[in-house]
Each structure stands twice: as C-alpha cells, then as structure tokens.
Amino acid sequence: MPVSKSANAMTIEASWVQISVPAAAGVTATVMPGWWVLPEQPRGAVLVLPEVFGVNSWVRSVAERLAQEGYAALALSTFSRSAPDLDVGYDEAGLAAGREHRDRVTAEQLLADVQAAVDWIQQSHPSLSLGCVGFCFGGHLAMLAATNPAIAATCDFYGARVSSFKPGAVEKTTLSVVPEVAGRLWCFCGDQDPLMPAEELQAIDQALRSADTEGSRHRLVVAPGAGHGYMCQARADFHPEAAASGWNQMLELFAEAL
C-alpha cells in the first residue's frame, strides 16, 4: 500500500515494489524488492544501494530525502537472492548477518539487478536521467553500477576494498572497471576510515585520474576527521559536518548531471 508523505511542501509517494530480475550470466531469475519513493514532478531518478544492513529505515530515509529534493528514488535489496527482506540494526549481530549475505553477492548479480531496476524505472519514466548512490558495501557496488550506460552520475560513499576485491571474481578488482564508466563518478570517504587506508585512497585517486585525464568527470572527496559510515546518523561514526557536506556535494553532482 503506498504511503503519502509531505515535507517542505513536497508530497511524495513511498511504497514497496517488486522487480523481476531475469536469469543472466549465471544469475538465477528472482524478484527483487525495492523501496520506491516518487515526488510529484521528478527531475531525475536515483538508485540507492544499501549497506550490508539491508534496506533498513535509514536507507529508506535516504530515498525519501532524495524525493524531497525532487528525485524519484529506488532503494534496492542487493541481497535479493539470499535475504531479500533483510533489515537489521547497526550492532554486531546485524553486521554478522549482513556480511554473510554480502559474501554471496557477485558482480554479475549486481549488474543484472541494476539493469532490471533501470528498465523498471524507464518503463514508467522514460524521460528521467538516472543516478546512483551507495553506502559501504553499497558504495562498492555503486562503482560497478556506474558502468551501466544509462547511469549518468554515481556517488560511492566509503566503498571499501575496491582496489583489492571484486564480488564473485578471483583475479579482477572492482577498481579495474573505472575506465568503463561513461558517466560521472565521485568517491567519498573519511580520512579516519580504518577500512580505507592510505594505499586504498591512492589507488582510487590514481584510477579516477587515469580514466578522466581532464578532471571533469571523476572526483575523490576525502572528509577530514570522518570515519567509516559517517553519513549515517544511526552509526557510531556519524560525523554531522562531513555528512552535511557529502549530502550537498551529492546533490550538486545530481543537479549538474541529471
């Protein structure tokens, strides 16, 4: 059942939807839940890829904040094949559950899910330009999603291990796909993030610069004093100043690209 919400004179409709994901590249067919939030007159659409904690209340609030800015937003269940309804808290038990399902995700699955979501949005809103934002593991996946030619702009918030790991792959890394990104890609992290050491940031910076020699499409944004998960109010590392800055820069990118 759709839920109507109003904030700052903006009326939005929010509801769970079910998106069919066909079998492809070793990916089994399934139905993927998504939290779909639609403003009255959308100016663009954004895919929201969650942390390992699932499409929980904070992730849904991100989609709703984007809708209040005029963007249709679809928060995807990236664990749709093993735990489609995962919604856990920011504690050790929640982290353990999320990591169990994280390790079952493959790049092929993610790309199939993203294409299904893109097709679903474009069927009803073909004129909307598309963006993507992801947090933590969702940030890592957002870098992969950015290779979808329909996505014009992507924000990867503290997507760790992109220089050393690619879901479901043995030899390749997620960072190796950056040259395939046709749109814009901004990577965000805190300089106190233990999951993203200096060598990881250097690798990301080098990959972005190599793929965008003019420096007009890609960007690495390092937030001083911020740790991992600094955008999320429910996490211990929440950093109000860095979160506000990251949110505003994301909106800047989407306003320019979408």
Active site residues: 136, 193, 228
**What pairs with residue 240 in β-bridges?**
none
Can you tell me the distance from the alpha carbon of 27 to that of 6, in angstroms, rounded to the nearest whole number? 39
Q: Who contacts 92 (Cβ-Cβ below 8 Å, separation ≥6)? A: none
Helix axes 107-124, 137-145, angle to 10 degrees: 70
Can you tell me the distance from the alpha carbon of 188 to that of 190, in angstroms, rounded to the nearest whole number? 7
Residues in the chain, overall count:
258
Give the closest residue to 78 by CA, choosing from 94, 95, 56.
56
Give residue 182's identity as a one-letter amino acid code. A
Give the closest residue to 68 by CA, choosing from 37, 93, 90.
37
